[in-house]
Structure 1
Amino acid sequence: MADRRAAVTDAGDRRRWQALGVGLVAAFMTLLDVSIVNVAVPSMDRALHASPSDLQWVLSGYALTFGLILVPAGRFGDARGRRTAFVVGVALFTLTSALAGLATSPAWLVTTRLLQGAAAGVVNPQVTGLIQQLFRGAERGRAFGLLGATIGISTAVGPLLGGLLIQLGGEEHGWRWVFFVNVPVGILAVVLGWRLLPARPAGQPDRHRLDPVGVLLLGVGVLLLLLPLVQREQWQSPWKWALVPAGLAVLVGFGLWERRYARHQTPLFDLRLFRLRSYTLGALIALVYFGGFTAIFFIFTLYLQNGLGYSPLIAGLAITPFALGSALASTLGGRIVNRFGRPLVGIGLVVVVIGLGTVVLVLRGSPQHSVPLLTAVPLLVAGLGSGLVITPNQTLTLAQVPVPQAGSAAGMLQTGQRIGSAAGIAAVGAMFFSSLASTGGDWAAAFRHSLLLAVGVVVLALVAAGVDIWLGHRRGDSAG
């Protein structure tokens, strides 16, 4: 009898990790599409004769709809079952990937990218909610470590995989394989997800409504915030920035509505989560850090390809050290986060600043050759630091969140990351192009100046982490 119970336990344990593996593959696939398309833009331009506005929407439309759908999708998974939401999201992502690869016009491609981003927004909160649901204690840290490695690698390795696919598929149609590669992976994830992910227990009472007014207010608020950021190059009127305070005002209205709604029903997002110091400061760190580190890949790719004439493949390889460092440190960070708490995040941020600062130093003489080699070790160091930021911060931020709210809490956390990424790319990109104009086309100087701004943003995240550590010491909280 004891042997049978042990066998059942082992089988259940194995099934949990298999379910996590399916979730991580889907998360990798959806997060990869944020950056992989960047290197495919010239090929798309030649094949579809797209306008600059069309190309901007191909790049930014995905991030826009991704950010809009995260919290409602997380609440849906909490209320109606994460397996259903996951499988539907992956199926839609797979279908829209295939349609994007078959595009024959810019309008077709833009539409499918918008739908693809929405599908990605459905998938990702389910993965985080699944970790909260299936794992506890040190195992949860390990699971978040694997998720952090997935986030770090997918963000940094996109240009490399995009460059490889374009080289294999040819300059004319290689960009289509950037989308087609998702199809077989997505089909497999749908089948395995339905088989391995736990269903909502039969007969479980469903008292959750999806709060349509809250969905509308949050969607409008996030849309107003993101639109001027993702369309910064195409909308020349300064009036576009009036949408930012308008978006903030709508989000204030969302908060007031949620507080009122919570008196009688389960809200879209429970504002009481912000009473948790770990959640509030962790979400702030994530928002600010993503504003700094995701912008780095944007400007580095511009510098290497447009400034120095490197191929998409070499530009992707140049970013690989960061991805490797992030993957290694994320796995380690997930294992040790419960021992060190928030100070581990602070250490990671310091290492990121050191690594990126060294990149600025090695490029002081505006080198024209061997830039990927010169920056390899500093980017590896920065990647190691990043791995100690993303995974531990996510683990600590969600540690005290009740499992029934895990999806919506993760959705709000990721929404902040998407807003931070868009704001960071807008600010750092503006610095890059402004410096390029003022220095008469000195690409190295433009990269150094904009990278310094990105480092400054990371320092702000370090300040937020320092505040959390200080408060933790004052209250005697060893987890910081």
Structure 2
Amino acid sequence: MTHTTTAAPLEPAKKWGAVIVLLTANFMNLIDITIVNVALPSMQSELSAAPNMIEWIVAGYTFSFALLLLPAGRMGDLFGRRRLFASGIVIFTLASLICGLAPAIDTLIAARVLQGLGAAIMTPQTLALVPALFPPEQRGSAFGLFALTAGLASVTGPILGGVLIGADIFGLTWRPIFLVNIPIGVLALIGALTLVPKAEGNRKLGIDFVGIVLAALAMLAVLVPLVEAPSLGWQLWMAPLLILALPLGWAFVRWQMYQEARSRPQLLPMRLLRTGPFLTGSLLNAVLFTAVPSYFFTIALYLQSGYGLSALDSGLTTIPFPLGVLAASAVTGWFGSRWVRWRVMGGAALLGIGFLGQGWAVWGMGEQISWLRMAPWFFLGGLGLGNTVSPLFQIALSAADSNDSGSASGAVQAIRQLGISFGIAIVGAIFFTLLGGTAAGDSETYRRAMLGAITYSSLVAGALVLSALLIPIRLQR
């Protein structure tokens, strides 16, 4: 029998204040991922960096973030989630300062790796702290707000990046995109220490060093080819690495079983891996996120390279999407923990309708982008995403008890990160294959490439609907 973490008896004002702190830190991390992409050309020009070095500004962050999510979640279980959350904010904020002051490309890359480390430490704690704040029937609202944060970050990043770089504040060009994190990080740290409840860890759980190494090697075997493929194309050495991930993953699971049989520390407790809701929620969440970030990756290229929109105009075009997620967050609060299976099915159906409608909009697009033609479908897609993500988080984390919520949160988000990397690699391959060597401004070819990317995203939404129909999706009671 699994006993989930119960909510602490906090006043509503302090409880929601703590949620705002968690969302702020989460938003700071997520927006940093999208805002950097806008600034890469400016960084390359100012720092006189080779293209392969510029790529590592993104890849360095991705690797350190993804590799450390699972062990950082477990460290929260051991040493206290508020302590880890606050530590992650400090590291992330200091790394942002170093990024903003970096005199050379190698310093910037090292600081980005450190940023990823800070993000990996604080991110699992954000979801793991929700059960400490809310009883099960109220967690839907909080998880819905996390979905809203993700939607807002995906759109706000390019907009804010375009504004900050265009403003060229004090002649700093791209540097304010990192320096803006400093006041936000300071406020988040103050909020963490004053509003987030102190949760002591359980140091008796111990540290599984072998499990950490095996998990990191398995993740690296998957991530290296997926992160490199969009820029290098698929190379011969990539397939063996992906295949190697299978025996490494098997070795990790066998090691966890070995540790469990001897009552020794486990990085990812086997009781979670044996629980249907945890596996279902985590895997469906990963499948979902193969479609959404990759969709926004290609829609930005379609709007900016195909139609000549600026990063700011491109971001404003997609604004209805986070508005849809915002509307969904209100609905998920009303649902609470009820009807999770039907909410996944309905949310995925709405998301699929949004993708198909966007395909119709792209198919009939003329020589100029019509915002009105695309806006309703962005909104429906956001409404669908918000109504899908929240119950999937609820399902996965309902399987964790008070000792394992950090580990469960880290695992859910590490698996989601793998899904994002898979999606960008797959959709990027589809998009650039259809694009061929087409120059920017060829709207017709960009239209065909975008339709290929939308087809993949629509199929994923359909697969989620079928999964909800065929698989018993439920909360762990």
Do both share a fold (TM > 0.5)?
yes
Residue 259 of structure 1: how far off its partner (Å): 0.9
What is the aligned partner in structure 1 of residue 100 from structure 2? 101
User: Are the counterparts in 1 of residues 361 and 374 from structure 2 also a CA contact under 8 Å?
Assistant: yes
| Letter of the structure 2 residue corresponding to residue 256 of structure 1 | R
What is the aligned partner in structure 2 of residue 174 from structure 1? 173
User: Are the counterparts in 2 of residues 291 and 421 from structure 1 also a CA contact under 8 Å?
Assistant: yes
What is the aligned partner in structure 2 of residue 193 from structure 1? 192
What is the aligned partner in structure 2 of residue 463 from structure 1? 466
| Letter of the structure 1 residue corresponding to residue 77 of structure 2 | D
| Letter of the structure 2 residue corresponding to residue 128 of structure 1 | L
User: Are the counterparts in 1 of residues 138 and 336 from structure 2 also a CA contact under 8 Å?
Assistant: no
| 1:231 match: secondary structure | helix
User: Are the counterparts in 1 of residues 141 and 336 from structure 2 also a CA contact under 8 Å?
Assistant: no
Q: 1:371 & 1:36 partners in 2: Cα distance?
A: 25
| 2:205 match: secondary structure | coil
What is the aligned partner in structure 2 of residue 252 from structure 1? 250
Q: 2:42 & 2:311 partners in 1: Cα distance?
A: 11
Distance 1:53 1:463, change over 3 A: farther
Distance 1:71 1:170, change over 3 A: same
User: Are the counterparts in 2 of residues 47 and 173 from structure 1 also a CA contact under 8 Å?
Assistant: no
| Letter of the structure 2 residue corresponding to residue 255 of structure 1 | V
Q: 1:213 & 1:330 partners in 2: Cα distance?
A: 40
User: Are the counterparts in 2 of residues 295 and 429 from structure 1 also a CA contact under 8 Å?
Assistant: yes
What is the aligned partner in structure 2 of residue 217 from structure 1? 214
Q: Deviations over 1:20-57 (max 9, x none)?
A: 22111101111111212121222222222222212222
User: Are the counterparts in 1 of residues 47 and 105 from structure 2 also a CA contact under 8 Å?
Assistant: yes
Q: How does 1:25-424 map to 2 (within 5 A)?
A: 25-169=24-168, 173-201=172-200, 206-236=203-233, 237-263=235-261, 264-424=263-423
Q: 2:12 & 2:51 partners in 1: Cα distance?
A: 50
Q: 2:202 & 2:459 partners in 1: Cα distance?
A: 49
User: Are the counterparts in 2 of residues 96 and 116 from structure 1 also a CA contact under 8 Å?
Assistant: yes
What is the aligned partner in structure 2 of residue 3 from structure 1? none
User: Are the counterparts in 1 of residues 394 and 475 from structure 2 also a CA contact under 8 Å?
Assistant: no
Q: 2:343 & 2:182 partners in 1: Cα distance?
A: 38
User: Are the counterparts in 1 of residues 81 and 199 from structure 2 also a CA contact under 8 Å?
Assistant: yes
User: Are the counterparts in 2 of residues 149 and 391 from structure 1 also a CA contact under 8 Å?
Assistant: no
Residues 333-342 or 380-389, more deviating: 333-342
User: Are the counterparts in 2 of residues 334 and 391 from structure 1 also a CA contact under 8 Å?
Assistant: no
| 1:384 match: secondary structure | helix
User: Are the counterparts in 2 of residues 435 and 449 from structure 1 also a CA contact under 8 Å?
Assistant: yes
Residue 11 of structure 1: how far off its partner (Å): 6.0
Q: What TM-score do you get using the length of structure 1 for normalisation?
A: 0.91
Residue 137 of structure 1: how far off its partner (Å): 2.3
Distance 1:392 1:171, change over 3 A: farther
Residues 355-364 or 152-161, more deviating: 152-161
Q: 1:112 & 1:388 partners in 2: Cα distance?
A: 36
Residues 161-170 or 322-331, more deviating: 161-170
Q: 2:370 & 2:170 partners in 1: Cα distance?
A: 24
What is the aligned partner in structure 1 of residue 452 from structure 2? 449
Sequence identity (%) = 34
Q: 2:311 & 2:328 partners in 1: Cα distance?
A: 26
User: Are the counterparts in 1 of residues 302 and 446 from structure 2 also a CA contact under 8 Å?
Assistant: yes
User: Are the counterparts in 1 of residues 64 and 120 from structure 2 also a CA contact under 8 Å?
Assistant: yes
Residues 238-247 or 290-299, more deviating: 238-247
Gaps of 5+ in 2: 1-7
Gaps of 5+ in 1: 1-8
User: Are the counterparts in 2 of residues 326 and 385 from structure 1 also a CA contact under 8 Å?
Assistant: yes
Q: Deviations over 1:30-88 (max 9, x none)?
A: 11112121212222222222222122222232222211111111100011101110111
User: Are the counterparts in 2 of residues 78 and 407 from structure 1 also a CA contact under 8 Å?
Assistant: yes
Q: 1:60 & 1:347 partners in 2: Cα distance?
A: 35
Q: Deviations over 1:129-163 (max 9, x none)?
A: 11022221222222222222222222333222222
Residue 271 of structure 1: how far off its partner (Å): 2.1
| 2:308 match: secondary structure | coil
| Letter of the structure 1 residue corresponding to residue 111 of structure 2 | T
User: Are the counterparts in 2 of residues 337 and 344 from structure 1 also a CA contact under 8 Å?
Assistant: no
Q: 2:202 & 2:228 partners in 1: Cα distance?
A: 44
Distance 1:64 1:461, change over 3 A: farther
Residue 313 of structure 1: how far off its partner (Å): 0.5
Residues 138-147 or 385-394, more deviating: 138-147
| Letter of the structure 2 residue corresponding to residue 87 of structure 1 | A
Distance 1:132 1:266, change over 3 A: farther
